Structure 1
Amino acid sequence: MNYILASASDRRKELLSRLVKEYEVIPSSFDEDSVSFTGDVGDYVKELSLGKAEYIRKMLKKPSIIIAADTVVSLEYKVLGKPKDEGDAFRMLQSLSGKTHQVYSGITVINTENDKLISDYVCTDVTFSILSKEEIDEYINTREPMDKAGSYGIQGLGGVFVEKINGCYYNVVGLPLNKLKNILREIY
């Protein structure tokens, strides 16, 4: 079967290669702004991942397994996406300082051969230590937070801010491997 990752994320590519040896990368151009956040973060990320997967399904000619994901950070039921600029990144990191927040990843897998579709999400609690203004500024100057939900990458320099996690580490990186492994077993 042909596998397709509907993402350009280097992190997702690296993680998927642990489960699937050969796959094609076709980044989805789904308009994420077309999905409104209505208060349920799990439903929101599922809808985003579904939109990405369906966008790719419309393009395909041969039977394939499409894998799409979307990850957001949630603090007190507010969604923190990727920062718009350095000021936005600073505000996000400052708001996470000393608190526990949630990282949600929606994941959708479609088998185009039998039209089976599975969409789910994973939530992980992440607790940050208290961050100084200087620590935040130094981190932003590395440019690492600028393309990450919540303005940090646990797998990179931002990992030093994490005091503890409760749940799937790979979910925080952007692709919950255990959940995906189980979905791939069911999709046939």
Structure 2
Amino acid sequence: MTPKFVLASASPARLKLLRMIGIEPIVHKSDYDESLINLPQPIDLVNTLAMKKAEVVAQNYHDSLILGCDSLLLVDGEIYGKPEDEEVAIARWQYMRGKMGRLYTGHGLIDTINNRQIVQCGVTDVYFADVTDEQIRAYVATGEPLKCAGCFALEGKGGVFIEKIEGCHSNVIGLSLPLLRKMLTELSYEISYFW
């Protein structure tokens, strides 16, 4: 029996990535309160949050695979999630420009049919362009950075301000497709089952 595939996230970028590889998931936002978890290590933090999001949604499904994800950016040892407002986004970009950040995405996958779960983290290095204050203000004014961990969307306007990435491209967008394939394999599913 092929389980239903449930995305425990309202992220349009994650949904688009899944659709791109032929998976049409049920979308069920978790509404998990992220402020309940405060861990100092980025991998522990994103993995815990990803699994908590999946666990909340899994309570509603008994014949499914539930995928929860969480992303953050680490720059100079400082953890960044979504910026609170435009001023924070501008200040953050002024700090990040010309630097390298490490993007962490936790992936929590729960198999409610076989009562199994797996959690893994994708890590990608992102090199930011040395953009001007004017470019930063114009970008923040679009509203895009306010919706994204790390204050940029690689797949959107923010992509023009990224010099290069080292590691998984889709991980930066919010879901590592190669990592998802490996996790499914570990749970004895082929990605092709969901096409």
- TM-score normalised per structure 2: 0.92
Equivalent residue for 1:28, pick from 30, 36, 47: 30
Q: Residue 139 of structure 1 corresponds to which residue in structure 2?
A: 139
Q: Residue 14 of structure 1 corresponds to which residue in structure 2?
A: 16
Q: Are positions 1:57 and 2:58 aligned together?
A: yes
The percent identity for this pair of structures is 36
Q: Residue 49 of structure 2 corresponds to which residue in structure 1?
A: 48
Where structure 1 has 5 or more consecutive residues not aligned to the other structure, the ranges are: none
Q: Residue 86 of structure 1 corresponds to which residue in structure 2?
A: 86
Regions of 4+ moved over 6 Å: none
- TM-score normalised per structure 1: 0.95
Please report how far the alpha carbon of residue 83 of structure 1 lies from its aligned counterpart in structure 2 after TM superposition.
Answer: 0.9
Please report how far the alpha carbon of residue 20 of structure 1 lies from its aligned counterpart in structure 2 after TM superposition.
Answer: 4.8
User: Pairwise CA RMSD of aligned residues?
Assistant: 1.1
- 3-state SS in 2 of match to 1:90: helix
Q: What is the CA–CA distance in structure 1 between the aligned matches of 2:74 and 2:129, rounded to whole Å? A: 17
Task: Determine if contact 1:28/1:53 at 8 Å carries over to the other structure.
Answer: yes
Residue-by-residue CA offset, 1:22-70 (whole Å, 9 max, x unaligned): 32110101111111032x111110001011011111233x311001111
Q: Are positions 1:179 and 2:179 aligned together?
A: yes
Residue-by-residue CA offset, 1:146-173 (whole Å, 9 max, x unaligned): 1111111111111111111100110101
- 3-state SS in 2 of match to 1:17: helix
Task: Determine if contact 2:18/2:24 at 8 Å carries over to the other structure.
Answer: no
Please report how far the alpha carbon of residue 18 of structure 1 lies from its aligned counterpart in structure 2 after TM superposition.
Answer: 3.3
Please report how far the alpha carbon of residue 92 of structure 1 lies from its aligned counterpart in structure 2 after TM superposition.
Answer: 1.2
- 3-state SS in 2 of match to 1:91: helix
- 3-state SS in 2 of match to 1:11: helix
